[in-house]
A and B are shown apart, each in its own frame.
Chain A
Amino acid sequence: MAEDQAAKKSFDIEYRVEMHHICKSFEGVKALRDMQLQIRPGEIHALVGENGAGKSTLIRVLSGVHMPDSGEVKINGKKVHLHDPKDGILAGISVIYQEFALVQHLSVMENILLDEFRDRKFVNWKEMRQKAKEFLEEIGFGNIDVNARVSDLSVAYQQVVEMCKALTRKASILVLDEPTAVMTNREVEQLFKLLLKLKEKGVSIIYVSHRLEEIFQICDRITVLKDGQYVTTVETSSIDKNQLVALMIGRDLSSFFPARDCEIGDVVLTAEHIKAGRAVQDISFDVREGEILGLSGLVGAGRTECIRAILGVDKLEYGTVTLHGKKIRLGSTKEAYEHGVGFLPEDRKNQGVLLRRPIFQNITLSCQKAITRFGWIRKKKEQPIVEKYIRELAVKLASPSNNVESLSGGNQQKVAIAKMLAANSKVLFLDEPTRGVDVGAKIEIFKIINELVSQKYAVVMVSSEMTEIIGMCDRAVVIKEGRSVGELQKDELTELNIIQYAMGVRVNDTEE
């Protein structure tokens, strides 16, 4: 077949993909600096790094979603300029994201041959079925029924269909983003078989994963990224897990985090054996008065879901929550606020603030009872609250009656924090409190959090940035795949310790 020949021919060249000196910034924030990547024909190449190391951005640049600010991309030795994902597909690059781009209610055959349907006016169903079957057989999955609806397939088979679709596009470079995140072990084995087959055919595979076991099992080489920069590329056989982890971390912690001096009191809230849905299996932690407890772990480890279950946003299937010595079960955030438990959601724009409502209305959103009599809002009571929080949190604004969307990200986040504090919450759950705000605002938010714990608030903070956990928290619980796998005291809080727990290199000694 045509792509076979193309693939074989390009075995001669040294590199299928070459990226040199790639730089990319988003609104002044440098996501990639002088990045490089070299992929050989017919190899499985792992891309590893912490959260925010630049893996996703690099893939987006390679696939044409983002244009790099500078640097060059070579495919099969030829320099290319990819302006959008279509260019990427034409150049032979197919990216398979965690959320598949399949049409769920169409059949396997229709999904595999989606492009042909676009190019034809009339459909010969018999021929199409035959063609789809051939594609599946070729990669060793002839057992998948081409007439089955995609939504009825297992996640692994959906992935196979997705890859099959990529092959119809004559993809010679396949990018898999955390392909095994939602798979069972058996499904992973099937996927690996397929990957090896594709590799034999000369397809280059870029494999992004947090699971070190898998990387060592299947990948030929590994490229390590850190803070948007290239660290190194190594042969998998020349390195072990601990050495790899060491390559991924080791950043200098500057005096970025303001100092804090406060007394840690009694336990305020305990969560034990929390289970909710697939994402949260068994998570336990407690938080004390005047303490910041960090919930650390990789993106998707189940931290946010755990908080949501504790607060009653999602259903808590199993486990107990104890607040001030009393067992409670919260049915909604309304009940949480009534118990003095506040919540700062991770998605500021969609969950944290009402962008198109005035600032003052956002601040008093959660404390309506305090500012109303018989349901009527009393300006006299509302105004002091609004002024107090604008002053204390130093929200920079033109007028409190402007909409929140007129503020910068950092100030929007301050409004969200003000809203939570105005409701008199003493136990605060902060989910990614500094996501999407600039460095200056970050420091300001850290100062606010420090001020709060010194006033005997108890804070549980979820953060994907390890430096933040290390710099801010008195203690951290590491979560891996829905389970709390380790607890680290202040003096043990290092990137190495966190990442060893988070990636499963080290298991908690106390666990059976």
Chain B
Amino acid sequence: MILKNREKAAADSRSTVGVQKMSLSTFLIRYNAIIILVILIIAASGLSPLFISKTNVFTLLRQQVPYLIIAMGMLMVIVTGGIDLSVSSVAAVSSIMVAYSMTKWGLSGGGWSTWGAIVIGVGVGALFGALNGLLIARLRMPSFIVTLAMMYAGEGIAYIITKGNTLMLNNKTGGYADLVGFSTATTIFGIPVAVIFALVVVIIFFLVMKYTTFGRMVYAIGSNESAVQLAGINSKKHLFFVYLLSGILCGIAGVIITARSGNSSALTASVDYNMSTIAGVVIGGASLMGGEGTVVMTVIGVFIIAVIGNIMNLINLASYPQMVVKAGVIILAVLLKSLSSKKHG
């Protein structure tokens, strides 16, 4: 009798420990992206001493700014169980509208007119996001189709506005100095201002996803929307805001893209912002079925993709083999996750 009780107590304590502490294998499976990133960084440092040089690190970070910002929106969308394929196109249109308003509408005087151009760029992103949100949340259309259509529409609009040309900002205007000069030259504690900005965006989204009702509802909707609705929550409103925010973030990314290079063209729509951010979010452990995924792990996922590209550039590997290696890493990361979920039944 006593023995039985003791066995039971032991079993009980074991089960509570299992609940609170994570076993090593669970950790490895859930956070495999961290390990992959660490291994990649070590390997990269070994392959090329240039990798950990200050110039390379900052270049890498600066390159990733638009990806990180767009990935925050993509993460939210994916957590709700949706997808946003339109991000590259929306960022392109925003970027073009910034350049267009500065070159054609005379918003190049610096000061407030620069802010005007930025608002136009972000506003265009918001408009696309609102349209996505309306069709998906209100009219219950599948996000894949809606954002696919918006991807084509955005790219088309980008070419219509630019007539296929590159819009160059005049580097003698105050606007150029405000936008391009500020973003390329300014550093805070030696860190480029754009990188600081991306960090702030990431921190804000970390807090929003973790500590606000909105963030909690995003996860809840992705976990089971009908239950959320029956619990007395306006899930459509939240879903609309998710796509609106994704659009706004693409708008911000568009502004940054123009600010970095001082020009803008429709080619931005063909940059792999959509596929890379989706890959980053998924490598970070998010599920395309919704309900899972975190900001921190998304950042890790984005950098995994980035480091692979960067190291292969450093060792002069052509871009086509790069793609194959990227594919391998994506499969590996997701394979570990699907193996673990199979184990849990």
Contacts and interface: CB of A to CB of B under 8 A. Distances in A.
Q: Is the pairing of A and B real?
A: yes
Interface of A: 313, 332-334, 336-338, 343, 345, 350-357, 361, 365-366, 368, 372, 375-377, 398-399, 402, 406, 419, 423
Contact of B227 (A334, A352, A372): A352
A334 B232 contact: yes
B213 interface: yes
A351 B211 CA distance: 25
A345 B220 CA distance: 17
Interface stretch (B14-22, B52-60, B330-338): B14-22
A333 B214 contact: no
Contacts of B214: 375
A333 B16 contact: no
B223 A372 contact: no
B216 interface: yes
Contact of A313 (B19, B217, B230): B230
Given A350-B226, A376-B211, A402-B19, A334 B219 contact: no
A336 B228 contact: no
B226 A365 contact: no
Interface of B: 15-16, 19-20, 211-214, 216-217, 219-220, 223-224, 226-234, 291-292
What is the interface of chain A mostly: helix, strand, loop, or mixed? mixed
B145 to A, nearest CB: 20
A357 B223 contact: yes
A372 B213 contact: yes
A412 to B, nearest CB: 12
Contacts of A361: 216, 220
Nearest to A344: B230
A406 B20 CA distance: 13
Given A337-B232, A368-B213, A350 B291 contact: no
B140 to A, nearest CB: 15
A383 to B, nearest CB: 14
Nearest to A365: B231
Nearest to B237: A334
A333 B229 contact: yes
13 contacts: A313-B229, A313-B230, A334-B234, A345-B227, A351-B230, A353-B227, A354-B223, A357-B219, A361-B216, A368-B233, A372-B212, A376-B213, A398-B16
Contacts of B20: 398-399
A376 B215 CA distance: 10
What is the interface of chain B mostly: helix, strand, loop, or mixed? helix
Nearest to A368: B213
Contacts of B211: 376-377
B286 to A, nearest CB: 13
B236 to A, nearest CB: 9
Contacts of B231: 333, 337, 365-366, 419
A365 B234 CA distance: 12
Top 4 closest pairs, chain A to chain B, by CB: A337-B232, A368-B213, A333-B232, A398-B19
A351 B19 contact: no
Contacts of B228: 354, 365
Contacts of B223: 354-357
Nearest to A399: B19
Contacts of A399: 19-20
Determine which residue in A337, A343, A376 has the highest number of CB atoms from chain B within 10 A of its CB, and name it. A376
B304 to A, nearest CB: 25
Contacts of A343: 230, 232
Determine which residue in A313, A336, A368 has the highest number of CB atoms from chain B within 10 A of its CB, and name it. A368
Contacts of A333: 229-232
Contacts of A336: 232
Nearest to B235: A334
Given A333-B231, A357-B219, A365-B220, 10 more contacts: A332-B229, A338-B232, A351-B224, A353-B227, A355-B223, A357-B220, A366-B231, A368-B216, A377-B211, A398-B20
